[in-house]
Structure 1
């Protein structure tokens, strides 16, 4: 799931997923990057906040990428 428009979103963990990798890309011309893996439980929801670049700047808005990792032997859609 990619969130790349400024705003606040809700991510609900799909069935069969026990961890997610979250990659954060900073807004602006020199935005940073970090990725982490988090344990999760299906059905739990998380707030995702995407910030914007500075007004009048030449950079881009931030981006959040969530990649679910299914439990072994579990298929997800």
Structure 2
């Protein structure tokens, strides 16, 4: 079953082939007969820009900016 996010990202880039159960054997034979070196370089280049480490760094930067903008009001002691 095609997953929309996979089709939109990896399928649109030509990095994966999406097939139904009826076409699986034929597609597997086709894919396995192709040279892999070029495709693997394309996949590696695409994935290099979307690692979890980069995702975390971007999220952490957003958190740090939000924290820096936060105004802290000190507690007052009652007499």
Structure possessing the higher radius of gyration over alpha carbons: 2
- Same fold, judged at TM 0.5 (above): no
Higher RCO, 1 or 2 (CA under 8 Å, sep at least 6)?
1
TM-score norm. by structure 1 comes to 0.21
Q: Which has more helix, going by share of residues?
A: 2
TM-score norm. by structure 2 comes to 0.21
Q: Which has more strand, going by share of residues?
A: 1
